[in-house]
Amino acid sequence: MTSEWEVVVVGAGPAGLTAALVAAQGGLQVLLLDAQPGPGGQIWRGAAAGQKGAAGDLLREVASHPAITVLSGAEVVAAEAGGRTHLLSVTSAAGLRHLHAERIILATGATERFLPFDGWTLPGVVGAGGLQAMHKGGLDVRGRRVVVAGSGPLLLAVAAGLRRAGARVLAVAEQASLPDVAAFGMAAARLPGKSREALALATGLLGVPYWADCAVVSAGGQDQLQSVTLRRGRREITLDCDWLAVGFGLVPETRVAALLGCPLDGAGAVQVSAWGATGVPGVYAAGEVCGIGGVDGALLEGFVAGCAASGQMERLRDAPRRAALQRRFQRVLERSFALRPDRLPTPSPTTVVCRCEDVRHGQLQPFTDWTAAKLQTRCGMGACQGRVCGPACETVYGWRFGGVRAPLAPLPLAHLLEDPSTLGPP
Amino acid sequence: MPELTLDGLRVTARPGTTVLAALQNAGLSPLRRSLSGEPRGALCGMGTCSECRAVVDGVTVRTCLTPVRNGQDVRRLLEVNRDF
């Protein structure tokens, strides 16, 4: 009896689910682990196995495949690449456990980029994808007044979803220009199946004002958000609202990859070959950890990495053509929603940048790099370990966040004091 | 339907919802005070920001990653910090 997994897939979103299923179809024993209480990732959060559509089908197939073990509520806190096998340390309610894996497929997805402005720390100011996640987690938004702001196509999906759930979406404020947004729409419409999706989105948003060239100025309220001020051209508009859902694009979640030593590209995503192989032998990556491109790209990359990791190269004949199409889409996405300094919120000296440690813009301005700022101010040293202020500082000051180290997630001291057990295949 | 206690308030929540959603639906959106005393609430909803921490049955957890269960005792850090 071996204690090694043939494949461990980290992340149970569309990319990870596909990769796990495909690798299992190739005859490998697969462990699929994820931090959320159930599989689906952010985009398919709360989807049920067997419900109609791609998500339900995939969830059902993964749940019923005899060679796949699903471990939910488990986070990788440490990772070490080895010659033949790799080691992952995973925390969950069951304690700290070691996993030995011959191959790892990273499908860790992305997180939202937040930018600091006055009032962004008020309860009620949340991520755009964050409010969507909260709603899928059971938050009742019926009749609530919501403003969606920031950048990227996620804003539209969030607005439409919240509206369907009964929220009053007062406006969608996008920092990109209207021609850039239109260029993105045209590129998306050229992808198979996307024009119907876009039409459904547009129908769901009928009557909701969409403001391009629009900057978030500040959020107001005492102990709770009460209003948001936006700037359109030279005019400032203040809207009373219950929720401000704000996000400035997505950032690949590369921490596990960094611990394994996977090289990143200039945009901070994991570098992969056409077959999803990272720079570390036996480690593959798929989905938004390799660059932000949406669910279709994630599904394709999950398929490719699953095939490559299990040696099913004959199934990959059509993949390069489909990948080229996705990459073109991804480039238009990046270009269309590139952040423009003049349309981004401007922090004041007293604006909090690091929420965990209450470090303010005025304290950070004198520094020229992340390490110096961190040493002198504790910026990035709190509970989130720079997950929120890291990408913010990258945009506001141009610092590249570094210094990823274990443990990647907060874990009870008791878990560290116990002897970790090894979780092997059944 | 699971029944739980939020800062002493008894509520019921739909199965499959998060403790975070139960708190927010009960109007308990500020969850903690920052180091300088500012009220803070959940930000990311997916386990990244750690702003939704609360004490559930004596253990500090991220409430967005914690499903509701019958009999849970949830205390916001706002309330817990008052004990000291």
Domain assignment present for residue B80? The answer is no
B-chain residues within 8 Å CB-CB of A134? 18, 20-21, 24, 42, 45, 64
> Of A217, A248, A279, which one is at a domain's C-terminal end?
A248
pLDDT per position as a tens digit, A26-73: 999 999 999 999 999 999 998 888 899 999 999 999 999 999 999 999
Which residue range(s) make up the domain with B7? 3-75
What is the mean predicted confidence (pLDDT) over A2-13? 95
Instruction: Please give the mean pLDDT across all residues of chain B.
Output: 93
User: What is the tens place of the pLDDT at every residue in A137-163?
Assistant: 999 999 999 999 999 999 999 999 999
* Residue B84 belongs to a domain: no
Instruction: State how far the Cα of A60 lies from the Cα of A68, in Å rounded to an integer.
Output: 12
d(CA A318, CA A323): 9
Q: Residue A43's closest CA among A118, A136, A126, A149? A: A136
Determine, for residues A383 and B65 on separate chains, whether the beta-carbon distance falls below 8 Å.
no
Distance from CA of A26 to the nearest CA of B (A): 32
B72/B9 Cα distance (integer angstroms): 11
A122: phi then psi, degrees, rounded to nearest 5:
-65, 140
Report how many domains make up chain B.
Answer: 1
Name the band, by pLDDT with cuts 50, 70 and 90, for residue B84: very low
Beta pairing, strands B39-40 & B59-62: unpaired
Q: For tokens 């202020």, what's the residue?
A: A389
Looking at residue B83, what is its pLDDT?
53
Best B20, B46, B59 member to test A by mutation, with max A CBs in 10 Å, is B46
A36 token code pair: 């959320």
Q: Do A150 and A178 have their domain in common?
A: yes
Phi, psi (degrees; rounded to nearest 5) at B62: -85, 115
3-state secondary structure of A106: strand
- On whether both A98 and A134 belong to a single domain, the answer is no
Q: Is residue A320 part of a domain?
A: no
Q: What is the ipTM of this complex?
A: 0.96
Instruction: Check whether residue A100 and residue A148 sit in a common domain.
Output: no
Tell me: do A120 and A101 sit in the same domain: no
Task: Give me the domain span that covers residue A178.
Answer: 114-248
CATH of residue B12's domain is: 3.10.20.30
- The CA distance from B78 to B6, in Å, is 12
Contact criterion met (CB < 8 Å) for B14 and A138: yes
Compare all CA atoms of chain A with the CA of B37 and give the residue at the minimum distance.
A358
pLDDT for residue A352: 98
On whether residue A317 sits in a domain, the answer given is no
- In this prediction, residues A307-328 reach a mean pLDDT of 92
At A327-371, the pLDDT tens digits run 888 899 999 999 999 999 999 999 999 999 999 999 999 999 999
Total structural domains within chain A:
3
Does residue B8 fall inside a structural domain?
yes
Q: What is the pLDDT of residue A4?
A: 96
Could you tell me if A120 and A228 lie in one domain? Answer: yes
Report pTM: 0.95
Average pLDDT over chain A, rounded to an integer: 94
For residue A86, give the CATH number of its domain.
3.50.50.60
Condensed to tens digits (0 to 9), the pLDDT of residues B39-57 reads 999 999 999 999 999 999 9
State the sign of the Cα–Cα–Cα–Cα dihedral A151, A155, A157, A158.
Answer: positive
Residue B71 lies in a domain: yes
Residue A403's pLDDT band (cuts 50, 70, 90): confident
